[in-house]
Amino acid sequence: MKENIMKENEIISRGTLNFRTKITLASIWTSFMIFYLYADVLSFYRPGVLNHIIEGFMGPLQANQSNLLMASMLMAIPALMIPLSIVLKDRVSRVANIVISTLYIFVNIGNLVGETWIYYIAYGVIEIILNITMIFIAIRWKTK
């Protein structure tokens, strides 16, 4: 009887820990999205950026359907990771968080290449730290 209660408590405890891990990862993805978007919003205040946008450019790229689709997918993936971190099965969520966080480290490094504005560099570094944190949490996550 006592062994059954201990096993039940262990199962409940593991389930609680897994749920906390999922909520933590979803929260970090939310924070990542806020930093990512706000860095872009602040960029509108840089001299000449709005004129560049009006001329049909997004950064160095022409604002056309394929480039805008790629940019929207680049934002859709971390936005979807917020609910997916919670609803996916534990093992799938763990792997997805490791793989996608790793991918976004490279995306952020690419965004920082040639950047000179300190706010953008600071946000990029914060985003990379958040991705490293998610990888660390997911690697340590003991799934069933």
Please list the pLDDT of the chain residue by residue as tens digits (144 residues).
Answer: 556 555 544 544 556 778 999 999 999 999 999 999 999 999 999 999 999 999 999 988 999 999 999 999 999 999 999 999 999 999 999 999 999 999 999 999 999 999 999 999 999 999 999 999 999 999 999 887
Angle between helices 2-43 and 118-140 (to 10 degrees): 160
Long-range contacts of 124-131 (CB under 8 A, 24+ apart): 124/39, 126/35, 127/32, 127/35, 127/36, 127/39, 130/28, 130/31, 130/32, 130/35, 131/32, 131/101, 131/102, 131/104, 131/105
Q: What is the pTM of this model?
A: 0.86
Q: Taking the mean position of all CA atoms in its chain, how far away is CA 114?
A: 22
